[in-house]
Amino acid sequence: MTYTIRMMFHIMEFLNSVTGPITLATQTGEALLLTVILQLIVIIAAARAGGWLFGRLGQPQVVGEIATGLLLGPSCFGRLMPELSAAVFPLQTDTVFMVFGQLGLMFLMFVVGLEFEFRHLKTLGRTAAGVALAGIVLPFALGAALALSVHAELAADYSRPGFVLFIATALSITAIPILGRIIMEFQLSQTPLGVLTISAAAVDDALGWILLASVSAAVNGSFEWLPVLGMLLLLGLFVAAVFFLIRPLLISWSQRVLKKHDGGFPLIPFSLMILAVLLAAAATNAIGVFSIFGPFVLGAALCDQREFQTAIRNRMEDFITAFFLPVFFTYTGLRTNIGTLDSTYLWIVCGMVTLTATAGKMVGCGLAAWLGGMSWRDSASVAVMMNTRALMGLIAINIGRDIGVIPDSVFCMMVLMAIFTTLLTAPILRRLLPSE
Same domain, 206 and 105: yes
Which one of 89, 116, 134 terminates a domain? 89
Same domain, 60 and 141: no
Using the predicted structure, report yes or no on whether residue 389 has a pLDDT greater than 50. Answer: yes
Structural contact between residues 172 and 140, judged by C-beta atoms closer than 8 angstroms: yes
Look at residue 94 and tell me if it is in a domain: no
Same domain, 65 and 149: no
Helix (H) or strand (E) holding 129: helix 121-154
Look at residue 219 and tell me if it is in a domain: yes
Number of domains in the chain: 2
Per-residue pLDDT reduced to its tens digit, 310-325: 888 878 877 887 888 7
Give the pLDDT of residue 211.
73
Using the predicted structure, report yes or no on whether residue 270 has a pLDDT greater than 60. Answer: yes
Query: What CATH number did the domain enclosing 271 receive?
Result: 1.20.1530.20
Same domain, 62 and 191: no
Using the predicted structure, report yes or no on whether residue 142 has a pLDDT greater than 90. Answer: yes
Task: Work out the mean pLDDT of the chain and round it to a whole number.
Answer: 79
212-243 burial, b for 16+ CB within 10 Å, e for fewer?
bbbbbeebeeeeeeeebeebbebbeebbeebe
Task: Output the CA angle 207-209-214, nearest 5 degrees.
Answer: 95
Look at residue 95 and tell me if it is in a domain: no
Range of the domain at 59: 2-89
Look at residue 221 and tell me if it is in a domain: yes
Query: Cα–chain-centroid distance for residue 22?
Result: 31
Q: What is the DSSP letter of 405?
A: S
CA–CA dist 4, 48 (Å, integer): 14
Which one of 66, 89, 112 terminates a domain? 89
Same domain, 361 and 233: yes
Return the CA Rg of the chain: 22
226-232 long-range contacts, CB within 8 A, separation 24+: 231/287, 231/288, 231/289
Using the predicted structure, report yes or no on whether residue 306 has a pLDDT greater than 80. Answer: yes
- Count helices and strands (H / E) in the chain: 20, 0
List all residues 6 or more positions away from 22 whose beta carbon is below 8 Å from its beta carbon: 12, 15, 16, 31, 35, 90
Same domain, 133 and 252: yes
Task: Lowest mean pLDDT of 204-218, 272-286, 305-319, 377-391, name the range.
Answer: 204-218
Which is nearest to 181 in space by CA: 391, 393, 399, 428? 391
pTM for the structure as a whole: 0.70
Per-residue pLDDT reduced to its tens digit, 216-240: 666 665 556 677 677 778 888 998 9
Same domain, 275 and 340: yes
Same domain, 73 and 152: no
